[in-house]
Structure 1
Amino acid sequence: MKLLYLSYLNSFRGLSREVWWLALVTLINRAGTMVIPFLSLYLTRDRGFALEDVGTIMSCFGLGSLAGTWLGGKLTDRIGYYKVMVWSLFLTGLLFIWLQVLESFYALCGGIFVLMVVADSFRPATYVAMSAYSKHENKTRSVTLIRLAINLGFSAGPAIGGVIIASMGYLGLFWVDGITCLLAALLLLLVLNPKKAKELDVYRNEAPRSAYKDYPYLLFIGAMILLGLIFVQYFSTVPLFYSEARSLSEVSIGLLLAMNGFIIFAFEMPLIKFLETSTLSRVSLMMLGLALTTCSYFFLTFGNWTGLLVIGMILMTLGEMVTFPFSSAFAMERSRTGRQGEYMALYNIAFSISHIFAHNGGMVSIANFGYRTTWYIAMVVGVMGILLLYLLRSGLLKGRIR
C-alpha cells in the first residue's frame, strides 16, 4: 500500500511551480462557477420562465462559450495569455454579480451570452500558459494536473452551491461566484506575474501559420468533434437510459457518475506517467482511448445486469483518461508551428461544437430510433473518429503531411 502511495506521489514530481499555481487558480475558478449547474433551476423556480425560454437561454450559453473560445484564442495571440487570463477572471467576476439584476428574457439571453464570451476566453489562454510553463517532457502530465483541478472544482462547486442556496437563496450564488472569480484573478496577479514566473518552453515562430490552414490539425480536430459527440452522451442521454431502460434510482445513477470522477482522481496521473514511457505515439494513444470509449457503448446494448453498466462506465472513463491528456498535449505541441492561441482555441471549439449538437442529437435519435440504435450510431461515430486518427498517424509517419 505504501509503495502504491509513493508511486502516486512520484507521478506528480517534476512539474513546475507555475503549473501548480495555474492548477490552483483553475480549481478556484471552476469551483466558483457554481451558478452553472443550477442555472436552469434558477430560471424556472426563482424567475418563473417556461421551459422553452430556458432552452433558448441555455442555447445562448453554448453560443457564448463558442464565441468566447474563438475570441480568447485571437486575443491570446495579440496581447498574450497573461492579460487574457487576468481580465477574463476579473470581468467574469463582475458579470456574475451583475447577472442577478437582469429580469427580462432578452436581457438574460444577452447577459448569459456576454458572460460566457468573457468567461470562456480564459480557456485557450490557459493552455498556452500551461505550454509555456511546462518542460517538453512534462506537458501531458501538466494537462492531467489541470484536468484534476477542473474535476475537483466541478465536484465541489455543486455541493457548495447547494449549501449556499439553502442558506442564502439563489442570489447568493451570483455573489459567491463573482467573488471567487475576483479572488482567482488576484491570486493570478500575485503568483504568476510574468516578471517573476519562469517560462520553461520559450518558442518564437517568426512566420506562424494559421490553424485553419494546417490540414493535419484539421483532421485531428474532426476526430475530436466525433469524440465529443459520443463522450457527452454519458452526461445527458446515458443517465436517461439508466433511469428509463434499466430502472436505476437517482442514487444509483449518481454513484455511477461519481465513479467516473473517483477513477480519474485516483488513477489518471499514474496512468499518464506510465503511458508516457511507452513506445506508442500520442496519436496512437488517442486511438486507444477513443476505441475504449467506443467499446463502452457495446455494454449498453444487451442484457439487464447492472454490472454491464459499470463495465461501460469504467471503459468510458479509461478512454477519457487516455484520450484527453494526450490530445491536449498533441494540440499544444502542434500549436508551436503557428498562432498558439488560435490553435488552442480551435481545439476547445471542437468540444463546444460537440456540446451544441450532441445533446439534442442524442435526444432526437432516442425519440425516433430508441436507445439501442442510438448506441450503435455512437459506436459508428467512434469508429469514424478512430479512422480519422489512423489517417493522421499514417500521414505523419510516412511524411506525407507535416
Structure 2
Amino acid sequence: MRAEAAARSTGASVASIQTATPAGSRAVMVERLVLAGFRSYGSLDVTFTAGPQVVFGDNAAGKTNLLEAIALLATGHSHRTTSDPDLIAWDADFARVEARVSSVNGVPGTLEVVLGAGATRKRIRVNGVPRRASALAAAMRVVMFAPEDMLLVSGSPSLRRGTLDALLVHRWATASASLSLYGRALQQRNNLLRAVRDGISDRGELRYWDELLCAEGGRIVAWRREIIGELAGPLAEAHAQIAPGEGRLALRYVTNAAATGGETPEEALRRRLAETGEKELWNGSTLVGPHRDDIAFELDARDLAGSASRGQQRTAILALKLAELALLTALDGHPPLLLLDDVFSELDPARRAHLVRRIADLPQAFISTTTLADLDPALVAESTAWHVTRGALALAEREPR
C-alpha cells in the first residue's frame, strides 16, 4: 500500500519514465545489515523491519556512519570522503559492509562491499557474484538528505553536479560507465596538456582523448538536461506544497559549451575545445566540459544562490529531495530507500511536517537524530527506535533521560 501511494503521488509528469533496471529485482528494504571494521563499527549485525528506522544518540556515536554504510551499498562510494581507506576502522585491515535486502517482488538478495587498505581494490558482490559499482545502483536506489546538502543552492558547483549525476546513474543503465570514462579521459588529457606544454609529448597525442572527452561529455550534458526536464514538474509541485504562493522553483543548466545553430552537445564541446586550445595548453588543464558546468536554482527565474534567505534555500533543497523521490519512484512504481542524516534539526516545524507526510508513504526510511525531541511525535510513535553508543546499536523503547 505504501509503495502504491508513493507511486500515485509522483504525478503524471513523470509517470511515463522507464528504466533499464529489471522491475522485480530492485531492493526496497534493508532487512539485515552486517558491518566489520567500518568506521566506528568493529562488528555489527542488526535486523531491521519495515517502516521508519530512527537512529539516535550523541554526536560522534556512529549515527552518520550507519547511514553512510547503507548508502555505500547503493553507490559503491561514500558521500563524505573520496578516500576508501578513511572508511576502515583504525585498528582494522579491511572494512566489510553487507546487507540482506528484499526486492520489489519479495525475493531476497545480498549486497556486499569490501574495502582493503593500501593498494587493494574494493570488491563488490551482488547476490554473491563479483560486480561493478554500477550494479549496486541498479540493485538498490537511495535518496540521501544530509547536512552537507544544505549547501546545495549556494555551495560549490561540484555538489550540484554530483547530485544530478547520482540521478543519471539510476535513470540510464550506461550513465555510470560514461561518467567513469569521462573522468579517465579528463585526467589523461590534463596530463597530456602539461606534457605538451613542457615539450615532453606531441600535440597530436591529444586527439584520441579529445574525441573520447567529447563523446562521453556530450552524452553527460544531454542526460543532465533531460533529467532537469524530468525533475521540473515534481520540483515545482513539491515547492508549491511546502511554500504555497512563493513562486515557481526550477533548475537551469549552466554550461560553458552552449550549443549554437542546431549543434549537438558533443559538437558544441568539440568546438569549444578548439576555441580554448591555446589557453588550455598554457594552464595545463581542460577548461570546458561537463566537469565545469553548473546547475542554478531559480525562483521565478531569479537565481537563489545570491538572493535567497536561508529559509528559502532550505525550502528549495527539501523540494529537490522530494522531487528526487518522485522521479525515482516513477521509474518502476516503487520508491527508493530514504536516508535522512540529522536534517530535522535544520528544518522548521512546517517543513518537518511535510517531510513526515512523505516518509509515511515509504516502505522503509532511515533517520538519524541527536535527540528524539527533534522529530515529530507521530513519526516517533510509528518508528522503530535504535540507540547508538560508541558503535553499538540497540533497540530503544524511548529516549534515555
Q: What interval of TM-score do these two structures reach, taking the shorter chain for normalisation?
A: under 0.3
Larger fraction in strand: 2
TM-score of the pair, normalised by structure 2:
0.23
TM-score of the pair, normalised by structure 1:
0.23
Larger fraction in helix: 1
